[in-house]
Amino acid sequence: MPTKKKKHPKVKLKLHPRNKHRERYVFSELIESCPELKPFVRPNDYGDESIDFFKPEAVMMLNKALLMRHYDISAWEIPEGYLCPPIPGRADYIHHIAELLGGQSGLKCLDVGIGANCVYPIIGVKEYNWCFVGSDVDVIAIASAKKIVEANPHLQGKVELRLQNNAQDIFKGIIQKDEHFDVTICNPRFHSSMAQAQAGTERKLRNLKQQQPKELIKNFGGQSNELWCLGGEEKFVRDMINESAEFSKSCFWFSTLISKSANLQGAYKALERAGAAEVRTIPMGQGNKVSRIVAWTFLNKEEQEKWKTG
């Protein structure tokens, strides 16, 4: 017998108003777009159609269905074990950044750490007709993203992939001489060690299952270099801010997600030392998860207006 029917809000108000995923998933429509999803859909404890978010294969297929249904993707595969990010949160980042930029179409965006999934460019191309350069330190991730672009004609000519050969650099070796971007985006690696990443996975699984997991399974996947780095999110963001100052005239807005509120003060201090002319903090939320985008520019008001007018 299913548990007493749970009442869900009709609209996820924490998501951006333009986010296509504010309402509950209509699985019949998703299955129509991606029949491979059907075997993973079953009633949950409340009698609602859902998937088992504990199973990586189910999460992967749900993401594929969402991309096919809403973003004109006809083919999307990623290597086993690579990060399979929740689509609604990724879409929210793009919509908030578009709002920061005045909702303009046809802009140029640098996706730092594009990953094997290529999700940010997929959403940005469909929603705003942006062009993307995607960078990553992982050869396999770059090859996977390239395969996705080649398999979807509307992405060709809109997404360029660049391998970051030096893992200590972020913009160096990627932003070329006399090249200009309207914005950079980034999902930094949250954790400072493999042990911390595993602890985070365990917490997430406990929240999903409401019990201690018997085995550690990353339901959204993720390679080591996608999940953790020395110093974690705090150091990565600080390094990004410091390096962005060297490219102050190459980009209008730099931005990054910051998942841990405790890391905000360190980021603000780094931005002050780097000489940022303006800093914006944009709150984001999905379910019980709270996050935020921190964006900064080195351009003064006059330079900003000149950039906007071309």
Question: Between β-strands 49-50 and 42-43, what pairing exists: parallel, antiparallel or unpaired?
Answer: antiparallel
Evaluate the CA torsion angle 205, 209, 210, 213 in order and state its sign.
negative
- 189 pLDDT tier (thresholds 50, 70, 90): confident
Q: Which of 237, 142, 227, 139 has its CA nearest to residue 184? A: 237
Region of 287 on the Ramachandran plot (φ > 0 left; ψ -120 to 50 alpha; else beta) = left
Q: Dmax of the chain from CA atoms?
A: 65
How do residues 89-114 score in pLDDT, each as one tens digit? Answer: 999 999 999 999 998 899 999 999 99
**pTM as predicted:** 0.87
For residues 164 and 139, what is the distance between their CA atoms, to the nearest angstrom? 9
Evaluate the CA torsion angle 68, 223, 79, 27 in order and state its sign.
negative
DSSP 228: B
* Block residue for tokens 């960078």: 135
Sequence letter at residue 184: T
Given a cut of 90, is residue 158 above it in pLDDT?
yes
141 vs 229: which has the higher pLDDT? 141
